[in-house]
């Protein structure tokens, strides 16, 4: 699978050079707008930076950061979502430092991860804002790195500063993985990597030749949020409209209003966000929306569920939303983010596959109405890079229709993991060199190629192997959440644990819906329904089913359920006091 597109013009080698270019050629055009929602039902307060103003702030912050640190030092960004975050990120790059995009200590449930990442990255400077300064200072404690308050650095600091020389191959930032299957690791992304991936994304969605407005609520410390809401607009000279993730979660119609308000809107969200909009946006709120100018809605979840796209478009078709706007995509932090994408305007590619064959590594067609069929969505074709599917053991490339590990090669693949041995992941070679010469990235993701499109089937490390048969956890989770209305959608984890006979057995930990009260819930009936559905569809006997309150199943910093952490907590007995059946392990 190969795809090569012509480069964008101008072809600047780094993001700071793009900022300077747009500040010189289009100084008064809007660059970044942050929409703040200070009250529960606020329609939003817009705060905007033009390209000239962004350049001034980047120069000032870069000068201050250069004074506070040495070349190659890490600069941790502990800012709230907003224009200060954007300016601080670009300033760190402009100063020749290595940015570490993170979040404020107040993000619920992620303090331990933040402490772990800071200990790993060892930044010499932390950038925050006056609003978050006190909590950041308290979190870092005495003897921590120096703190720069972005909004208190005067513009004059950058008046006499000359840009630092930047080599495209030098590290620009550390993108810490979300930790859905293991401890977070910092991927070294070079200046060349992020520019290449920004161009690849623009070309993949046809945004290199037509106008665009990026509209996003994804956090800027996440790979998708950083590239789609910062890197791609900077490379294109386009407006990026930002909002806080919490503002979306509180009232999701806010995101849709911004999409309606800006022509040629492009946005990305995980699978749950589209279902969340369908469930919570009221008929009255929909009446005021016009979504006919939306260009692309990117869905990069694993997996992308066809039913989610269908429900979302059915809910907002009367608002003018075109069916071809939904763009299933695939990516990962190790490749900066974007790898494969479905193009806007194309119909959704749907594949009904035989579940038994899929567990044996074969993608064979099944009837879509077969209750044992697995329904998957194609994630399009590569965005300016090479993608192969390989046997993870023999390292032999597999033909179309066979399931193996997804391997990636391209200018967007990161340099490796910070402070870790990365050769096994970033330096893979095929057993037969002619099959794909050079070094490849082993993604750890499983997939196949069907009708020329990449179809992602799951994570290699997440596979549940019971009695010699492979089961994909997201497939088991889908069956479990459809079994009973009280199971909260996309807030459950299926995983394998050691069994009594030396093998493995399967467990599901599921949150109950917010509308259900545990004391009034017939837990036994819910568990019977889940066990029955999983047994009927997968031929898999669940050894344990645990029902927990909303907010109990841990999630990664990007919002995905962390199966690894859920499994660890289960084995530690953390769910022992929750509603459950008798474990059969």
The answer to whether the beta carbons of residues 85 and 79 sit under 8 Å apart is yes
pTM of the predicted model as reported, rounded to 2 decimal places: 0.89
* Helices (runs of H) and strands (runs of E) counted in the chain: 18, 28
Whether the upstream peptide bond of residue 87 has omega within 30° of 0, thus cis, is no
Helix axes 111-121, 133-140, angle to 10 degrees: 70
| Cβ neighbours of 71 (radius 10 Å) | 11
Contacts of 406 (CB under 8 A, 6+ apart): 330, 339, 387, 388, 389, 443, 445, 446, 447, 454, 456
* Mode of pairing for the β-strands spanning 579-580 and 542-548: antiparallel
Q: Which two tokens stand for residue 494?
A: 């299926």
Whether the upstream peptide bond of residue 293 has omega within 30° of 0, thus cis, is no
Residue by residue, DSSP assigns 100-153 as EE---TTSTT-HHHHHHHHHHH--SEEEE-TTTHHHHHHHH-TT--EEEEGGGS
Closest CA relative to residue 59, chosen from 24, 25, 95: 95
Radius of gyration over every alpha carbon of the chain, rounded to an integer in angstroms? 24
The predicted structure's pLDDT at residue 112: 86
Q: How many whole angstroms separate alpha carbon 81 and alpha carbon 106?
A: 12
- pLDDT tens for the chain, 585 residues long, are 654 443 445 889 999 999 999 999 999 999 999 999 988 777 899 999 999 999 999 999 999 999 999 989 999 999 999 999 999 999 999 999 999 999 999 888 788 889 999 999 999 999 999 999 999 999 999 888 999 999 999 999 988 888 889 999 999 999 998 654 456 799 999 999 999 999 999 999 999 888 999 999 999 999 999 999 999 999 999 999 999 999 999 999 999 999 999 999 999 998 889 999 999 999 999 999 999 999 999 998 666 788 899 999 999 999 999 989 999 999 999 999 999 999 999 999 999 999 889 988 999 999 999 888 899 999 999 989 999 999 999 999 999 999 999 999 999 999 999 999 999 999 999 998 778 899 999 999 999 999 999 999 988 888 888 887 889 898 899 999 999 999 998 899 999 998 766 678 999 999 999 888 877 889 999 999 999 999 988 889 999 999 999 989 988 766 778 888 899 899 988 887 566 554 444
Strand partners, 76: 100, 126
For the four alpha carbons of 126, 129, 132 and 138, in that order, the dihedral sign comes to: positive
Distance, CA of 151 to chain centre: 28
The residue whose two tokens read 């009594």 is 500
Classified as helix, coil or strand, 379 is coil
Q: How many whole angstroms separate alpha carbon 83 and alpha carbon 49?
A: 7
The residue whose two tokens read 């407005």 is 213
Task: For residue 202, report the phi and psi dihedrals to the nearest 5 degrees.
Answer: -60, -45
Q: How many whole angstroms separate alpha carbon 361 and alpha carbon 447?
A: 9
């Amino acid at each position: 699978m190969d795809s090569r597109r012509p480069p964008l013009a101008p072809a600047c080698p780094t993001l700071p050079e793009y900022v300077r270019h747009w500040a010189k050629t289009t100084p008064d055009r809007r660059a970044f707008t942050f929409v703040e929602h200070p009250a529960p039902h606020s329609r939003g307060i817009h705060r905007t930076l033009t390209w000239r103003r962004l350049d001034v702030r980047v120069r000032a912050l870069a000068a201050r950061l250069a004074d506070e640190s040495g070349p190659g030092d890490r600069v941790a960004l502990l800012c709230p979502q907003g224009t200060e975050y954007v300016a601080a990120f670009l300033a760190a790059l402009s100063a020749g430092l290595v940015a570490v995009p993170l979040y404020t200590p107040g993000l619920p449930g992620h303090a331990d991860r933040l402490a772990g990442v800071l200990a790993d990255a060892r930044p010499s400077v932390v950038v925050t804002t006056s609003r978050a300064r006190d909590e950041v200072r308290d979190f870092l404690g005495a003897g921590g790195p120096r703190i720069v308050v972005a909004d208190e650095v005067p513009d004059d600091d950058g008046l006499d500063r000359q840009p630092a020389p930047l080599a495209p191959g030098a590290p620009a930032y550390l993108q810490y993985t979300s930790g859905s299957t293991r401890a977070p690791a910092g991927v070294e992304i070079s200046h060349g990597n992020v520019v290449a991936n920004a161009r690849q994304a623009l070309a993949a969605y046809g945004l290199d030749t037509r106008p665009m407005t990026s509209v996003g609520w994804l956090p800027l410390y996440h790979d998708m949020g950083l590239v789609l809401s910062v890197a791609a607009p900077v490379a294109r000279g386009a407006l990026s409209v930002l909002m806080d993730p919490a503002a979306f979660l509180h009232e999701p119609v806010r995101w849709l209003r911004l999409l309606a308000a800006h022509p040629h809107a492009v946005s990305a969200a995980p699978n749950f966000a589209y279902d969340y909009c369908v469930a919570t946006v009221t008929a009255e709120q929909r009446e005021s929306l016009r979504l006919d100018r939306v260009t692309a809605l990117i869905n990069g979840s694993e997996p992308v569920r066809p039913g989610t796209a269908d429900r979302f478009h059915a809910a907002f078709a009367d608002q003018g939303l075109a069916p071809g706007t939904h763009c299933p995509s695939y990516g990962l932090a190790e490749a900066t983010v974007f790898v494969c994408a479905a193009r806007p305007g194309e119909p959704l590619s749907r594949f009904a596959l035989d579940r038994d064959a899929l567990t044996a590594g074969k993608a064979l067609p099944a009837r879509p109405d077969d209750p044992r069929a697995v329904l998957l969505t194609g994630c399009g074709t590569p965005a300016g890079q090479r993608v192969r599917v390989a046997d993870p053991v023999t390292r032999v490339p597999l033909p179309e229709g066979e399931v193996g590990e997804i391997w990636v090669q391209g200018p967007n693949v990161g340099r490796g993991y910070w402070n870790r041995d990365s050769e096994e992941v970033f330096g893979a070679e095929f057993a037969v060199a002619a099959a794909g010469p050079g070094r490849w990235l082993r993604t750890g993701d499983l997939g196949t190629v069907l009708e020329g499109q990449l179809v992602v089937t799951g994570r290699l490390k997440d596979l549940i192997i019971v009695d010699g048969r492979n089961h994909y956890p997201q497939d088991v989770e889908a069956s479990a959440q459809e079994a009973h209305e009280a199971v909260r959608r996309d807030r459950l984890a299926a995983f394998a644990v050691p069994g009594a006979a030396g093998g493995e057995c399967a467990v599901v930990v599921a949150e109950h819906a917010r509308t259900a009260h545990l004391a009034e819930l017939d837990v036994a009936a819910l568990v019977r329904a889940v066990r029955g559905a999983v047994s009927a569809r997968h031929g898999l006997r669940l050894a344990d089913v645990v029902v927990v309150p909303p907010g109990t199943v841990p999630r990664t910093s990007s919002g995905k359920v962390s199966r690894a952490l859920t499994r660890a907590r289960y084995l530690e007995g953390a769910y022992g006091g929750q509603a459950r059946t008798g474990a059969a392990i």
